[in-house]
């Protein structure tokens, strides 16, 4: 990939991880760093849709692009349901503050209807009728609100510094354990994991992060087996399944 090529660090800017990322930090910093990296996966996917959507023409490409868009929406839902079902309630319990994540919860719901409408449109429209001019307004209807939420959540997590670091660590562990259990969910291996791996740039910020924290064999397993089911859709990913950035196939 040459540096001149348009890549998924725009149109929506990626989130720089909090700079207090040293080993002696409060655990809330680690939480905020990991959340920033997870949010960047979603932002890269969204940017990949914006950048490549205008260049999709052939019917097979439209079908694959529609699946890529649906997979991205599923991944956003999966991220937010993990927060609403585990992370936020556990933080409320630990801090004895039932309102502590209210702003984040409200933001989750702010763009939900419009994102669902985009998802429905991409699922139900005939590939032969595909026009980027019709897709873009559906994305524009929620993209800014979604990205604003992805940014705003980071300082909320950094604010947890006023609580006990070990307590925050235990809450995060519960979230990680629940995420491990999620591998049993339908569509996890053939849809969400290829999307996550294909949008996780391992060169980000000089390659200092190891994210997502999957076992080493996971990218191989997904790449050689599970990603095959919808292989055409993963052409729209900005990275290969091992996190190496690649040129966008549909951007000349
Ligand atoms: Fe989040
Ligand atoms: Fe969130």
Q: What is the pLDDT of residues 213-227, one digit of tens each?
A: 999 999 999 999 999
Query: Which tokens go with 231?
Result: 């292989």
Domain segments of the chain: what residues?
Answer: 27-186
180 burial via Cβ count (<10 Å: 0-12, 13-18, 19+): exposed
Give me the DSSP letters along 71-90.
Answer: HHHHHHHHHHHHIIIIIHHH
Q: Average pLDDT of 145-162?
A: 94
Distance 134 CA to ligand 2 centre (A): 28
> What protein residues have CB closer than 5 angstroms to ion ligand 1?
153
Separation of alpha carbons 215 and 183, rounded Å: 13
Band of residue 109 on the pLDDT scale cut at 50, 70, 90: very high
Dump pLDDT digits (tens) for 18-36: 986 555 689 999 999 999 9
Distance 202 CA to ligand 2 centre (A): 22
Residue 3 has pLDDT above 80, yes or no: no
Instruction: Calculate the alpha carbon distances from 213 to 30, 40, 69, 83, 200 in Å.
Output: 13, 15, 24, 17, 11
Residue-averaged pLDDT of the chain:
93
Residue at token pair 């927060």: 83
Q: Average pLDDT of 130-147?
A: 97
Q: Average pLDDT of 201-205?
A: 95
Separation of alpha carbons 183 and 62, rounded Å: 28
Flag the least confident range among 61-70, 89-98, 178-187. Answer: 178-187
Q: Average pLDDT of 50-73?
A: 97
Question: Which pLDDT score is estimated for 4?
Answer: 54
Distance 16 CA to ligand 1 centre (A): 14
Distance 249 CA to ligand 2 centre (A): 30
Question: Which pLDDT score is estimated for 180?
Answer: 83
Band of residue 183 on the pLDDT scale cut at 50, 70, 90: confident
121 burial via Cβ count (<10 Å: 0-12, 13-18, 19+): middle
Separation of alpha carbons 22 and 148, rounded Å: 26
Question: Which pLDDT score is estimated for 5?
Answer: 64
């Amino acid at each position: 990939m040459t540096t001149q090529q348009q890549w998924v660090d725009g149109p929506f800017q990626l989130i720089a991880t909090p700079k207090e990322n040293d080993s002696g930090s409060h655990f809330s910093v680690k939480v905020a760093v990991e959340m920033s990296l997870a949010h960047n996966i979603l932002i890269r996917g969204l940017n990949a849709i914006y950048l490549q959507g205008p260049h999709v023409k052939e019917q097979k490409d439209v079908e694959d692009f529609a699946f890529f868009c649906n997979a991205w929406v599923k991944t956003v839902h999966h991220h937010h349901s993990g927060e609403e079902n585990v992370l936020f309630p556990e933080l409320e319990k630990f801090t004895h503050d039932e309102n502590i994540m209210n702003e984040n919860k409200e933001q989750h719901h702010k763009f939900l209807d419009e994102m669902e409408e985009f998802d429905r449109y991409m699922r139900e429209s005939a590939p032969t009728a595909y026009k980027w001019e019709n897709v873009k307004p559906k994305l524009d209807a929620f993209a800014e609100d979604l990205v604003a939420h992805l940014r705003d959540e980071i300082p909320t997590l950094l604010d947890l510094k006023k609580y006990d670091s070990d307590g925050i660590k235990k809450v995060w562990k519960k979230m990680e354990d629940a995420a491990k259990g999620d591998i049993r969910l339908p569509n996890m291996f053939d849809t969400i994991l290829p999307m996550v791996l294909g949008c996780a740039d391992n060169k980000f910020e000089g390659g200092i992060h190891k994210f997502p924290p999957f076992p080493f064999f996971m990218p191989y397993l997904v790449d050689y087996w599970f990603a095959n089911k919808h292989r055409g859709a993963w052409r729209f990913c900005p990275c290969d399944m091992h996190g190496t950035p690649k040129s966008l196939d549909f951007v000349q």
